[in-house]
Copies of this chain bind each other. A is one copy, B any other.
Amino acid sequence: MAVATQTLEEVCINSIRFLAIDAVEKAKSGHPGLPMGAAPMAFVLWDRFMRYNPKNPTWFNRDRFVLSAGHGSMLQYALLYLTGFDSVSIEDIKQFRQWESRTPGHPENFMTAGVEVTTGPLGQGIANGVGLAIAEAHLAAKFNKPDAKIVDHYTYVILGDGCNMEGVSGEACSYAGHLGLGKLIALYDDNHISIDGSTDIAFTEDVSKRFEAYGWHVLHVQDGNTDLEGIAKAIEEAKSVTDKPSFIKVTTTIGYGSPNKANTAGVHGAALGADEVKLTRENLGWEHEPFVVPEDALKHWRKAIERGADYEAEWNKTYDTYKGKYAEEAAEFERYISGKLPDGWDKVLPTYTPEDKAVATRKHSETCLNKLAPVLPELIGGSADLTHSNLTEIKGFGDFQKGQYQNRNIHFGVREHGMGAICNGISLHRSGLIPYGATFLIFTDYMRAAIRLSALSHGGVIWVMTHDSIGQGEDGPTHQPIETLASLRAIPQLTVIRPADGNETSGAYKVAIEKAKQHAPTLLAFTRQNVPNLAGTSIEGVTKGGYTVVDSEGTPELILIGTGSELSLCVTAAEKLTSEGKKVRVVSLPSWELFEAQDAAYKESILPKAVTKRLSVEAGSSLGWHKYVGTEGDTVSIDRFGASAPGGVCLEKFGFSVDNVLAKAKQLLG
């Protein structure tokens, strides 16, 4: 494997390798994933194909790059440094995996400009890539004109064996094949090694054949270690096939260049160690000091800056033409990119009075989505094969399908996890699109990793979850959420809203849309069953997370706290108790996160410390409610699995009835 003389390109590639080796060696940290085998394909891709502007990382029409094998993060940091991004200096690389550095253990888009999505949890990146490609296809179909293509870029993904083993990647890639996303190109770093050792111990399927079965265009580069022309030819060929995504298997050697650790799992999970680094330097003929990139290589890499400026200038010219000819579309495009909402968009959100018919909040959600869809053309999404249960179709806006990318109803199939990661990708395209993804609330369990990543990586996604309690009914305990709300409320940076009726559903969408534009996700939980419209509920109330909907004269003796479908039980119980001379307040608490964000005075005004007799009523786990009901309060809740029976029966049997609320309230009142 010894290398005699090196071409400039080889030096460029070794620059990636040794920046990574040096950074990992300095950090001495567990699971760095040295990009020794992936460096050549990354070099070819970034040096010869990718269109981006290092000095303007958010230039709109850039090709998107996703390192799905996120444990090789030093590959991405090396690329950003070498090509001249300001976000990663050599000092940053020396701070690899250190507190507050811009070079964290896995690529985090919110820490490092030039990183598009947050990867590390395997399989997510490639699925995000499908979302990025969907966003591009949609915007291209919507905005481009025959004489001015202002949306026209590729999405490139490097993924590894781990990504390919994860179900989420299978879901998303099956769907990408279905959609025929021709501008999605995935390079599979086929190195036969995962953490536990050779992939022979667990992963012997024919990955390429699987991708063919998905409908992808599949290629193979036999020698990804040195055959740069082979890599380039494959990428060319991938670009030439425009009606299918391309999957390029690039066979490489993990730890390429390391005499003793190449082709072993040892190089996957740990630093090489000083001795082996020395041997690798010798073996690859690398005589430079740690963290030093030879000038000629850096000069070559940095040509990316000039190229990037040219790409952007070229695009600007196209855009000028576009703007000149298509002023209206250009204005809309600019609004998209700006992340702004159209003035008065929220005026379409309906309000209700108690005289309005009782309907399920999922039905109110449908109304909101369909009111919003015409005024917010950036709203795009759908369900994981439960469209007519989740009620998420936006009517008149067509199905997003191969060749019909201008449409806005996405049929994700029974692929909750893939849907989640795809929605994240659509949002992280950062072109103003507001993606939404829907399923039954219980099936957030299938996509929890993606929901978490929407929160962590600042994805402005709306998660539309219906059938939000045992009121789900006959499908039984496998389909009835119990602990689900609690488990979602626990996720940092995720706002969970469980509206009680029509007004609160409108409020929930007001919050969700605004948060989406602020790059934050919101999860909405809607009922299957009908609920009455209540007096006192309001959009504004929801924006505060918690508010009083029924109040007593003077200081209350008791506060009933309800969410969603159980708020009406509280209201009815309060009427009864009031008629018996009790002083009862009812607080609607649709969103804990929004309520916690209010100032102390507001919170005290709603839940005064002095009032310790408090009863929460929510058809879900009691977990977390003690924060609001305190040690002297009580909960009407369910801490066991549900049962198969009509929803009303389930609710009644498990204690979600006015009678039981009254009984527990009276117990508290003594």
Distance of A246 from chain B, by nearest CB (Å): 16
8 Å CB contact of A630 from B30, B448, B630: B630
Residue-wise interface mask of A (156-179) relative to B, using a CB-CB cutoff of 8 A (1 in contact, 0 not): 000001100111111100110110
Does A476 contact B195, Cβ atoms closer than 8 Å? no
A653 CA to B165 CA, complexed, in Å: 35
Fill in one digit per residue for A454-476: 1 if any B CB lies within 8 Å of its CB, else 0: 01100000000000000001111
Closest to A494 in B: B483
Q: Select the stretch in A54-62, A621-629, A658-666 that faces chain B.
A: A621-629
For residue A122, CB closer than 8 A to chain B, the reply is yes
| Residue among B168, B177, B386 making CB contact with A167, cutoff 8 Å | B168
* Interface residues of A, count at CB 8 A: 113
- Residues of chain B lying within 8 A (CB to CB) of residue A177: 204-205
Give the contacting residue for A476; candidates B120, B483, B653; CB below 8 A: B120
Decide: B30 and A97 in contact? CB cutoff 8 A.
no
CB 8 Å contact bits of A116-148 with B (1 = contact, 0 = none):
001111100000000000000000000000000
8 Å CB interface, A358-395 against B: 383, 385-389
Docked Cα-Cα span, A455 to B413, in Å, equals: 27
Give the docked Cα–Cα distance between A487 and B621 (Å): 11
Of B205, B209, B412, which one neighbours A178 at CB under 8 angstroms?
Answer: B205
CB–CB A105/B644 < 8 A: yes
Which chain B residues lie closer than 8 Å to A623 at the CB level? 486, 489-490, 623-624
Interface residue A639 (Cβ < 8 Å from any Cβ of B): yes
Say yes or no: is A259 at the interface (Cβ < 8 Å to chain B). Answer: no
State in angstroms the CA–CA spacing of A310 and B84 once bound together: 77
Contact, CB under 8 Å: B202 / A412: yes
* Across-interface contacts of A120 in B (CB, < 8 A): 475-476, 478-479
A207: chain B residues at CB < 8 Å are 213
Oligomeric state, in copies: 2
Q: Is the CB of A456 within 8 A of B387?
A: no
User: How far, in angstroms, from A175 to B201 measured CA to CA in the complex?
Assistant: 10
A390 vs chain B, min Cβ distance (A)? 10
Q: In the bound complex, how far is the Cα of B167 from the Cα of A175, in angstroms?
A: 12
Interface centre among A121, A169, A175, A196 (most CB of B within 10 A): A196
Does A315 sit at the interface, judged by CB under 8 A?
A: no
B385, A195: Cβ atoms closer than 8 Å: yes
Contacts of A478 in B (CB 8 A): 70, 105-106, 108, 118-121, 453, 456
CA distance A545 to B456 in the complex (A): 32
> How many angstroms between the C-alpha atoms of A658 and B652 in the bound complex?
48
Q: Which chain B residues lie closer than 8 Å to A104 at the CB level? A: 476-477, 643-644
- Inside 8 A of A210's CB, which chain B residues have their CB? 210, 213-214
Shortest A78–chain B CB gap in Å is 17
Pick from B388, B474, B630: contact of A29, CB under 8 Å: B474
Which residue in B202, B204, B475, B643 is a CB contact (below 8 Å) of A100?
A: B643
Report which residue of A100, A609, A623 has the largest number of chain B beta carbons within 10 angstroms of its beta carbon: A623
A583-632 interface with B by 8 A CB criterion: 609, 612, 621, 623-624, 626-627, 630-631
> At the interface, yes or no: A499 with Cβ under 8 Å from chain B?
no
For the complex, give the distance between the alpha carbons of A29 and B213 in Å.
36
Q: Does A414 lie within 8 Å of B486, measured CB to CB?
A: no
Q: Are A165 and B174 in contact (CB under 8 A)?
A: yes
In the complex, which residues of chain B have a beta carbon less than 8 angstroms from the beta carbon of A415? 165-167, 202
Contact (Cβ within 8 A) A449 B446: yes
Residues 489-529 of A, flagged 1 when their CB comes within 8 A of B and 0 if not, give 11111000000000000000000000000000000000000
Interface flag for A417 (CB, 8 Å): yes
Q: Is the pair B446, A97 in contact by a Cβ cutoff of 8 Å? A: no
Q: Is the CB of A490 within 8 A of B621?
A: yes
Bound Cα distance from A449 to B475, whole angstroms? 16
Report if A399 contacts B (CB, 8 A). yes
- A190 smallest CB distance to B (angstroms): 14
Candidates B194, B482, B490; contact of A483 at CB < 8 Å: B490
A70, A120, A640 — most chain B CB neighbours (10 Å): A120
Chain B residues near A213 (CB-CB < 8 A) = 205-210, 212-213
Distance of A445 Cα from B406 Cα, bound (Å): 33
Asked if A105 and B475 sit within 8 Å, CB to CB, the answer is: yes
Q: A624 to chain B: which residues have CB within 8 Å?
A: 486, 623-624, 626
A208 to B45, CA, bound (A): 34
Beyond A30-B475, A202-B412, A206-B213, list 8 extra A-B contacts (CB 8 Å): A104-B643, A108-B478, A167-B417, A168-B446, A174-B205, A195-B385, A206-B215, A483-B490
14 contacts between A and B (CB under 8 A): A97-B645, A99-B643, A99-B644, A101-B644, A105-B475, A108-B477, A120-B475, A165-B385, A167-B171, A203-B413, A210-B210, A482-B490, A623-B624, A626-B630
A interface with B by C-beta (< 8 Å): 27, 29-31, 70, 97-101, 104-106, 108, 118-122, 161-162, 165-171, 174-175, 177-178, 194-196, 199, 201-210, 212-215, 269, 383, 385-389, 399, 401, 411-418, 442-443, 445-446, 448-449, 452-453, 455-456, 473-479, 482-483, 486-493, 609, 612, 621, 623-624, 626-627, 630-631, 639-641, 643-646, 649-650, 653
